[in-house]
Amino acid sequence: MTPAIELNDLRKQYGRRTALHGLTLSVTPGTVFGLIGPNGAGKTTTLRVLVDIIRPTSGTARVLGTDPRTGGAALRRRIGYVPGELRMEGRATGRRLLDFYASVSGPVRPGRIDQLAERLSCDLSRPVRTLSKGNKQKLGLIQAFMHEPPLLILDEPTSGLDPLIQREFLGLVHEARQNGQTVLLSSHVLSEIQQAADEVAVLSQGRIVAAGAVDELRLGAVRRIRAVLTDADTDAVRDALTPLSPATPPEVRAQDDRVIVHATIEGEIDPLVKALAHFHVAELLIEEPDLEESVLRLYGAASTDNSTPMGGE
Amino acid sequence: MTRILPITARNLRDSWRGLLAWALGLTAALALYLPLFPSFGSNGSLEEIIATLPPELVDALGYDQIGTGSGYAQATFFGLIGFALIVIATTAWGASAIGGAEESGRLELDLAHGIDRVTIVLENALAILVKLIVLGVVVGVVIGILNGPSELGLEASGIVAATAALTGLGALSATAALLAGAITGRRIAGVAAGAGIAVYGYALQAVANQSGDLTWVERLSPYSWAYSESPLESGFGWGIAAVWAVAIVFTGAAALALRSRDITG
């Protein structure tokens, strides 16, 4: 079966700066493929090449079996695209904007636009320039999904959307997959990709540093822990926890009569929970670190020190 | 359900308010200037005033023929205020069509749909042409109406030819702006190019008018191509066709320029 998307040693150079260092990847038709990586990793550049907004310096790209450089308007009618930096201006209403794109990329099933607008609770009667960022993003989603194209290329599609609408969006992706559409989705939020994608490629500084099935990647295995213990002393806590992550010992300090623990843990969470259970746990917070930290930690060439467990969100 | 010329249609729908304003502005300028001709143009009083001005200034402004109806309409409207209004309008249209659209992010979204790059340039150029024709018709009709009461004595063929010359200069600025926007993706570059070519043409003909020895300079000025054969009196000439031809070349160059580069937004 021809891959929906096939990139072979794709490079993009902007003057002396290299945005993509030879990307090779393949997306199976009918799957949801996630492209994740920190901001500036090259996700947007890659997706723009696929719709021929920018042209690669070298290497080849094939989208639905066709080179985007030669596929032209006919190829792009078969793609739904949400730009990474969606901006909309003008006096025209959302409905008129969608009607315009329907007329150049259609056909669109009758009632489809209204159905999507209702699901995403998007008011189509207002001029687009008066819309909030979230509402513009909804219009961006509608224009990509409305003509039910075989391929959806979505660059940070949920940015600016509230959690309820994000869930609705995941529903749309799920349905698209069931209809046999292929979805390529980029994000810098790991959990979004974990919920939606079958396969993932992790991009860092213009290179793919990991790829495979979502569950096989160990990205989700890095967690940050913050715990507040009472009836404990710092040395005992340190002795109990240090064996669990010898590479990055936990930060343990006393404050008044409490002990505060910051730790970063890889792998199973159970030993840590059991170790903490020996003390009286007043508070426990377990969270995903940001993607950049995970990528650097697990796949970065220079896995720099992670001595700032509370740095960043 | 592909509509015919969807981009042209969108451009016109999005900008009809502006077009109406420009049409009103041009009408107001004509209604202000032309009816003054009988009161002090044709009776020689304006020529007396002109005679007191430095001859270099008179030549530069093209006021030497101001005693005739055609000379008056040319010096006040076609050569000056009408020219300025048309150039401002068309430069804005040309600069926003590609350069402005790219800056606003709309071009990226448009081009990700079933629209190709050459088409987007040509359809926008067509929209500008339609708007220019509308302004040309307004100018022609208003002059036609004022011609009698203002005692200008203009021939219909002269009015048509001069309007074609004026709108041709507008097309030149518009397409220069379109081309610069297509090359750079920046609105401001388009504005500079559209205004620049108008100022260049005007300045060059002003220099050329200073002396008989300098008439060769006229050949480098699109403004002179359009107007030096006095279209209001002698009708169409090759100069007007040349202005339009350059505008067509600029449009083609804009399409090629956009086709061959990255869209950066």
Give the distance from CA B226 to its chain's centroid: 10
DSSP state at residue B261: S
CB pairs under 8 A between A and B: 76
Distance in Å, alpha carbon of B145 to nearest chain A alpha carbon: 35
Interface contact B109-A86, CB threshold 8 A: yes
Q: Residue A43 to residues A136, A291, B105, B243: CA-CA distances in angstroms?
A: 21, 14, 18, 46
Residues of chain B with pLDDT under 70: 1-2, 40-42, 265
| pLDDT above 80 for A311 | no
Distance in Å, alpha carbon of A102 to nearest chain B alpha carbon: 8
ipTM of the complex: 0.88
B178, HSE (Cβ side, Cα atoms, 13 Å):
33
Query: For residue A225, what are the β-bridge partners?
Result: A263, A286
Sheet containing A182-187: which strands, arranged edge to edge?
A: A79-82, A151-155, A182-187, A32-36, A199-204, A207-213
Distance in Å, alpha carbon of B112 to nearest chain A alpha carbon: 6
Residue A278 is predicted with a pLDDT of: 87
The distance in angstroms from the start CA to the end CA of chain A is 42
Nearest chain B residue to A86 by CA distance is B105
Cis peptide before B35 (omega within 30 of 0): no
Mean pLDDT over the full length of chain A: 87
CB proximity A88 to B under 8 Å: yes
Could you tell me the residue ranges of all domains in chain A?
5-215, 219-299
* Rounded CA separation A177/A181 (Å): 5
* Rounded CA separation B157/B231 (Å): 9
Neighbour count for residue A127 (Cβ, 10 Å): 15
Q: Name the pLDDT band for A38 (thresholds 50, 70, 90).
A: confident
Closest partner CB to B262 (pick from A54, A73, A77): A54
Interface contact A73-B1, CB threshold 8 A: no
Query: For residue A25, what are the β-bridge partners?
Result: A7
Residue A218 is predicted with a pLDDT of: 65
pLDDT tens track for B70-114: 999 999 999 999 999 999 999 999 999 999 999 999 999 999 999
Closest CA to A208 of A34, A13, A64: A34
pLDDT tens track for A137-163: 999 999 999 999 999 999 999 989 999
Percent of chain A with pLDDT over 70: 91
Distance in Å, alpha carbon of B123 to nearest chain A alpha carbon: 13
Residue B90 is predicted with a pLDDT of: 98
Percent of chain A with pLDDT over 90: 55
Lowest pLDDT segment from A29-43, A227-241, B130-144: A227-241
**Both tokens assigned to A286:** 């377990």
CB proximity B6 to A under 8 Å: yes
What element of type H or E holds A253?
A: strand A251-255
Q: Which residues contact A165 (CB under 8 A, 6 or more apart)?
A: A120, A121, A134, A138, A158
pTM assigned to the model: 0.86
Q: Position A8: which residue type?
A: N
* Rounded CA separation B94/A99 (Å): 25
Residue A309 is predicted with a pLDDT of: 34
Distance in Å, alpha carbon of A78 to nearest chain B alpha carbon: 8
pLDDT tens track for A105-122: 989 999 999 999 999 999
Q: Which residues of B touch A85 (CB under 8 A)?
A: 105, 265
Residue A300 is predicted with a pLDDT of: 60
Closest partner CB to B104 (pick from A89, A102, A106): A89
Closest partner CB to A90 (pick from B14, B264, B265): B14
Distance in Å, alpha carbon of A50 to nearest chain B alpha carbon: 9
CB proximity B212 to A under 8 Å: no
Q: Which residues of B touch A48 (CB under 8 A)?
A: 108, 263
Residue A247 is predicted with a pLDDT of: 72
Interface contact A105-B14, CB threshold 8 A: no
Interface contact B105-A88, CB threshold 8 A: yes
Q: Name the pLDDT band for A289 (thresholds 50, 70, 90).
A: low
Residue A304 is predicted with a pLDDT of: 39
Interface contact A103-B6, CB threshold 8 A: yes
What is the CATH number that goes with domain A219-299?
Answer: 3.30.70.120
Interface contact A103-B3, CB threshold 8 A: yes
CB proximity B119 to A under 8 Å: yes
Nearest chain B residue to A128 by CA distance is B106
Interface contact B2-A86, CB threshold 8 A: no
What is the CATH number that goes with domain A5-215?
Answer: 3.40.50.300
CB proximity B4 to A under 8 Å: no
Q: Please report, for chain A, how many H helices and E strands are present, in that order.
A: 10, 13
| pLDDT above 80 for A65 | yes
